[in-house]
């Protein structure tokens, strides 16, 4: 799912899980890359993602129930996973990208100071 879709769903549901994400954007932790023509978000980059021993380590951008949302370092879209840290197979559309597992870290407390 693209970020635009994620935001739409979050807004519609009225859930508060969009707020941590927006704080990460305003805090410069997440960079949204938009298309010039219609300002649609094409991909997003989570600056907190790091590589250790050749594996991407990712922090959730939001969590809801037993699910968490991450920005995929391989395709730049949002994927949902169970909200437990550990290795996962990416849910990218491109099946070749799914060969590379990543590690989801425990969700960080988002700093509310702006
Ligand atoms: Zn992906």
User: According to the model, what pLDDT value does residue 6 have?
Assistant: 86
User: According to the model, what pLDDT value does residue 15 have?
Assistant: 72
Q: What is the largest CA-CA distance in the chain?
A: 40
Kindly give the distance from the C-alpha atom of residue 34 to the centroid of ligand 1, in angstroms, as a whole number: 18
The whole model's pTM is what? 0.86
Kindly give the distance from the C-alpha atom of residue 79 to the centroid of ligand 1, in angstroms, as a whole number: 7
Residue 56 lies in a domain: yes
Residue 13 lies in a domain: yes
Residue 80 lies in a domain: yes
User: According to the model, what pLDDT value does residue 114 have?
Assistant: 47
Residue 114 lies in a domain: no
Kindly give the distance from the C-alpha atom of residue 57 to the centroid of ligand 1, in angstroms, as a whole number: 13
Residue 55 phi, psi dihedral angles, 5° rounding: -115, 135
User: According to the model, what pLDDT value does residue 13 have?
Assistant: 78
Total structural domains within the chain:
1
- List per-block mean pLDDT (blocks of 10 residues) for the chain, which spans 114 residues: 85 78 90 88 91 96 88 93 94 93 87 52
User: According to the model, what pLDDT value does residue 113 have?
Assistant: 52
Residues near 67 by Cβ (< 8 Å), separated by ≥ 6? 80, 81, 82, 83
Domain that holds residue 87: 3-104
Kindly give the distance from the C-alpha atom of residue 109 to the centroid of ligand 1, in angstroms, as a whole number: 24
Cα separation, 61 vs 59, in Å, equals 6
Residues near 106 by Cβ (< 8 Å), separated by ≥ 6? 59, 85
């Amino acid at each position: 799912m693209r970020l635009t879709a994620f935001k739409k769903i979050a807004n519609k549901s009225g859930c508060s899980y969009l707020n941590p994400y927006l704080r990460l954007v305003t805090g410069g932790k997440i960079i949204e890359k938009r298309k010039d023509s219609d300002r649609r978000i094409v991909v997003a980059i989570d600056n907190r993602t790091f590589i250790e021993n050749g594996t991407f380590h990712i922090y959730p951008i939001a969590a809801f129930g037993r699910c968490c949302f991450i920005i995929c370092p391989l395709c730049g879209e949002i994927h949902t996973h169970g909200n437990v840290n550990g290795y996962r197979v990416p849910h990218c559309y491109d099946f070749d990208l799914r060969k590379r597992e990543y590690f989801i870290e425990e969700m960080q407390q988002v700093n509310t100071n702006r």
